[in-house]
Amino acid sequence: MADKRDYYEVLGVEKTADDAAIKAAYRKLAKKYHPDMNPGDKDAEAKFKEASEAYGVLSDPEKRRQYDQFGHAAFEGGAGGNPFGGYSTMDFEDLFGGIFGDLFGGAFGGGRRSSRGGNGPMKGNSIRTSVRLTFEEAVFGCKKEIELNVKEVCKTCGGSGAKPGSSVDTCSKCGGKGKVVFSQQSFFGVMQNVQTCPDCGGSGKIIREKCPDCSGSGYVSMRKKYEVEFPAGIDNGQQLRKSGLGDPGVNGGPRGDVLIEAIVAPHPIFQRDERDIFSTVPVPFPVAALGGEIVIDTVDGPVIYDVKPGTASESRVRLKGKGVPSLRDPRNRGDHYVLLSVQVPLKLSDAAKKLLKEYDAANGDSLHAAERYRAEHNGDEPPGKKKKKKGFF
């Protein structure tokens, strides 16, 4: 990690740069150092990879926050990895499709490109879903069962897409490669672009008689159930990646992934800010004045707190270690901050009023402060006092 350059330095942007500035900086570097524009130039290839890694982190809000807090140490799992050991908020492969699809006229569009070129092995598509969690489930972690429509190889045709007993021909347009090459004029000059063959759809084969069970696709959709474990401390919008459970790969490629987004329901009492929890607790006036114990609800259950005599409203209490666990280390928890709201009684019995007046008389007689002022100043009102006007104006 020590030899890595700062990601902001790599893209040439300030730490305060917004998403648009980061994307624009990456586009500029991608155009300059992309391997297709610099064939055989290892230095350009290294710079392109470095810029892609930096963009993969800084374009994702959660990864960027972790990077700003921990630097490169936030991604110990590998270059451009995520700080949660499997939890991600962006599919990096989807990033490539989005940026380069319009950058090079479709040369990178239409699916992930195989390192072997043509119709070589390609990773299957990822499946995205979401799961609703309660506030407490997100704080302490939980297990949930999800049910997905997943593609499986058709047992009837073995994935060929052809009716049993029929033949599969090699595509004459692409020669079985699954890709076609054409030249296009661009601001770089004449470029050779590669696109999926329109005749065979990238398979390199032409099916004359389609399998009746899969309609020639080679796959059938199946409903599958998976148990997913959400870690303690996961926040709203964060994703859990389950590798190898997505759609099948093409031509022997690995299966895609399943990306599960956590949708955390709001809590009626607690509010969360990263690893800290906030709440407001009413304090009866006598307890605030005389001191006493109150009950405070926390995610761990009720706790007893001893209020000091003379506590003012809006006082803040910190309950250390009663917050949200860290995704890195569940033993490390945030704090719970409680705002004490002193409740002044709106209705009093005659007996209570009498006792309160007696208390006031023994402690400064604030109820008659104005009368004393007038007596001391020959009935004059305090300077600046406005006289009441009749009516509204």
Identity (one letter) of the amino acid at 156?
T
User: β-strand 87-88 against 239-242: which pairing, if any?
Assistant: antiparallel
- Domain spans in the chain, listed from the N-terminal domain onward: 1-104, 271-343, 349-386
The per-residue pLDDT for 336 is: 96
- Say if residue 189's pLDDT is above 70: no
Chain center to CA of 33: 30
What band does 138 get if pLDDT is binned at 50, 70 and 90? very high
User: Which of 138-142, 210-214, 235-239, 310-314 is the most confident on average?
Assistant: 138-142
The per-residue pLDDT for 86 is: 36
**Long-range CB contacts (within 8 A, 24+) of 302-306:** 305/338
Q: What DSSP string runs through 335-368?
A: -EEEEEEEE--S---HHHHHHHHHHHHHTT-GGG
Pick the CATH number of 1-104 from 3.90.220.20, 1.10.287.110, 1.10.3720.10, 1.10.357.10: 1.10.287.110
pLDDT digits (tens, 9 = 90+) for 265-281: 999 999 999 999 999 99
Chain center to CA of 349: 54
- Say if residue 98's pLDDT is above 80: no
- In CATH, what number does 271-343 get? 2.60.260.20
- Say if residue 233's pLDDT is above 90: yes
Angle between the N-to-C axes of helices 61-70 and 42-58, in degrees from 0 to 180, rounded to the nearest 10? 100
pLDDT digits (tens, 9 = 90+) for 312-364: 989 999 999 999 999 888 899 999 999 999 988 888 889 988 888 888 888 88
How far is Cα 230 from Cα 87, in angstroms, rounded to an integer? 10
Q: Which residue has the higher pLDDT, 380 or 21?
A: 21
Chain center to CA of 102: 26
CA atoms within 13 A on the CB side of 12: 9
Residue given tokens 């040439």 in the structure block: 12
How far is Cα 320 from Cα 355, in angstroms, rounded to an integer? 39
How far is Cα 240 from Cα 86, in angstroms, rounded to an integer? 7
pLDDT digits (tens, 9 = 90+) for 193-232: 778 888 777 778 888 888 888 888 888 888 989 899 999 9
Structure tokens given for 281: 């607790």
How far is Cα 61 from Cα 67, in angstroms, rounded to an integer? 10
How far is Cα 149 from Cα 92, in angstroms, rounded to an integer? 23
Residue 166 DSSP SS3: coil
How far is Cα 135 from Cα 234, in angstroms, rounded to an integer? 10
How far is Cα 279 from Cα 323, in angstroms, rounded to an integer? 11
Q: For residue 344, what are the contacts with CB-CB under 8 A and spacing of at least 6?
A: 285
Decide: 214 and 221 in contact? Cβ < 8 Å. Answer: no
Average pLDDT rounded to a whole number, residues 109-114:
42
Structure tokens given for 192: 């050779």
Give the helix, strand, coil percentages of the chain, each rounded to 5.
Answer: 25, 30, 45
Pick left, alpha or beta for residue 340 (phi over 0 → left; psi -120 to 50 → alpha; otherwise beta). beta
Identity (one letter) of the amino acid at 72?
H
Q: Where are the alpha helices (DSSP H) in the chain?
A: 7-11, 19-33, 42-58, 61-70, 92-103, 135-140, 285-290, 350-362, 369-376
Q: What DSSP string runs through 223-234?
A: EEEEEEEEPTT-
The per-residue pLDDT for 58 is: 92
Structure tokens given for 325: 């666990």
